[in-house]
Structure 1
């Protein structure tokens, strides 16, 4: 069976314009050439695509089904050509963004909306390593950009840009023993189970905010929050995750007096200093930086 994308394009044009003659005018071809091409397509497919008994051709049931597939194929052709053009211009075939904890995703999702418009055909990979795992991915080249909480140390090979602070209030379930205390103290926190986020490495990062000897580890802030809701312990959770749980009365924030010395964590954008980013990665890097500057100066136009 012989089949060309040009023939499918003719089929779609005839349907969209309403007739063979209208399609011929739009394409700058003779009507007889369009009619003959459609007839050859029908022969190649072994199907009658149009009912020609009326003044205007009408799709048969088989024709309607073939039309739907033809539109999909033509869209895929268009996407393929656009992708080829981007790759020819030096765009990356894939970009991997590593984010410390998927709970951070809503924080910068407006930038991803813009990114999808600027690089519609690029394959984006979002991974969620935590703590030292994130640094390892950038150092090995598994990821090109990273977003994470500021660590105790940053490998010298990585460059970084501050993206702001995330408040980390300590929360408990309303029925937790700490919720019954008027002003819980550091000693009170140490006496109860602490719920903490962890990466997959047993490194120093996960230990730095430890107060209690009784610990449950969870891979991600969302998991910590769910355990807190069940009354299984207390934990520090990013403030941006707490609006709905607080409104529903699922958790309460402990008074500030109970907080450890550091109740806010800086967020950083990270990349390998010795590995130049491609056009898409450089755009995303600049957009995230400007997203931060826009937050600091909301009245200033910082469009890319």
Structure 2
């Protein structure tokens, strides 16, 4: 590529003089003194080897060569302006992308409402469903900004900050007739049958709350879980926002648990040292979760 001999300032001065008609108005337009603008144009003419203006006319009139070059100068400056705008907005665009991790239990109505709200603010929300252990590694490494998960009965440690979002209501679901002549269904019956769990990696603290049976099948893809539950291959302890009672042949069961232990807190997780923008976003997440729950 041939080395560019002309500066952006020279081309800008040339175009401004063309459009203003004289050096004084061009200098005022560019915020420079008249002498500087005159020198920029003169040096450009010297580098080119030909005159761009007929200096015997008032206002200054372009030579034939100057007229041809002005059209290219204007196109060049438009491209330069586009470059400047893009360069200025890149940091803002980077800050306006948020990666949020969540698991199968997170209410989808909340995620949809959050995505819509952030879209209106010009924030791109990347939604990534994954197990909590994987999300914690992404948060710790800076590859994700936030996580939304069920609270664990343990301290989160210094690795993460957290804030309560609201409660997640849970219930027991099974195929109609799966537990015959049992109302409410006793815990011993739940423990004696296969439990379907939508987690591939269930933390110990969460397992103590969610796992009742020793016989479990892990199915962490919702359509497959639905098919297995409808086929009577086990029972499941699921969030009520799944609306599993609307799945084919599936019913919500009354159990000896009653409402005790069927409501679990949800929290937002993030790495310490978040900036003010992320903290404001967390407050917005709290509000949206409560509105949608």
Could you tell me the TM-score, scaled by structure 2's length? 0.61
Residues 186 and 260 in structure 1, CA contact (< 8 A), matched pair in contact too: no
Equivalent runs, 1:57-72 vs 2, <5 Å: none
RMSD: 3.3
1:253 alignment partner in structure 2:
252
Task: State how far apart, in whole Å, the 2-side matches of 1:115 and 1:83 are.
Answer: 22
Residues 172 and 237 in structure 2, CA contact (< 8 A), matched pair in contact too: yes
1:288 alignment partner in structure 2:
285
1:168 alignment partner in structure 2:
170
Moved >6 Å (runs of 4+): 80-83
Residues 105 and 238 in structure 2, CA contact (< 8 A), matched pair in contact too: no
2:112 alignment partner in structure 1:
109
Shift of 1:224: 3.6
1:226–1:285 distance in 2 versus 1, CA, 3 Å: farther
Shift of 1:116: 0.6
Q: SS of the counterpart of 2:95?
A: coil
User: Bigger shift: 228-237 or 102-111?
Assistant: 102-111
Residues 102 and 132 in structure 2, CA contact (< 8 A), matched pair in contact too: no
Residues 186 and 255 in structure 2, CA contact (< 8 A), matched pair in contact too: no
Residues 193 and 232 in structure 1, CA contact (< 8 A), matched pair in contact too: yes
Shift of 1:83: 6.3
Q: SS of the counterpart of 1:110?
A: helix
2:198 alignment partner in structure 1:
197
1:258–1:90 distance in 2 versus 1, CA, 3 Å: closer
1:206–1:293 distance in 2 versus 1, CA, 3 Å: closer
Deviations 1:149-184 (A, max 9, x none): 1123223321111111111100101142x1542332
Task: State how far apart, in whole Å, the 2-side matches of 1:230 and 1:156 are.
Answer: 44
Task: State how far apart, in whole Å, the 1-side matches of 2:132 and 2:98 are.
Answer: 20
**Rg larger for:** 2
Q: SS of the counterpart of 1:108?
A: helix
Shift of 1:266: 1.0
Could you tell me the TM-score, scaled by structure 1's length? 0.59
Residues 109 and 292 in structure 2, CA contact (< 8 A), matched pair in contact too: no
User: Bigger shift: 204-213 or 265-274?
Assistant: 204-213
Equivalent runs, 1:272-287 vs 2, <5 Å: 272-274=271-273, 276-277=274-275, 279=277, 281-287=278-284
1:207 alignment partner in structure 2:
207
2:16 alignment partner in structure 1:
none
Task: State how far apart, in whole Å, the 2-side matches of 1:277 and 1:221 are.
Answer: 35
1:157 alignment partner in structure 2:
159
Shift of 1:292: 4.1
Residues 173 and 228 in structure 1, CA contact (< 8 A), matched pair in contact too: yes
Shift of 1:203: 4.2
Task: State how far apart, in whole Å, the 1-side matches of 2:177 and 2:84 are.
Answer: 59
Q: SS of the counterpart of 1:127?
A: strand
Residues 167 and 265 in structure 1, CA contact (< 8 A), matched pair in contact too: yes
Q: Which runs of 5 or more structure 2 residues have no equivalent in the other structure?
A: 1-70, 72-80
Q: SS of the counterpart of 2:120?
A: helix
Q: SS of the counterpart of 1:216?
A: strand
Aligned: 1:142 with 2:143: yes
The count of residues paired between Structure 1 and Structure 2 equals: 213
Equivalent runs, 1:1-304 vs 2, <5 Å: 84-89=87-92, 91-92=94-95, 94-101=97-104, 104-119=107-122, 122=124, 124-153=125-154, 154-176=156-178, 178-200=179-201, 203-205=203-205, 207-208=207-208, 209-219=210-220, 223-242=224-243, 245-247=244-246, 250-258=249-257, 261-274=260-273, 276-277=274-275, 279=277, 281-292=278-289, 294=291
Shift of 1:264: 1.4
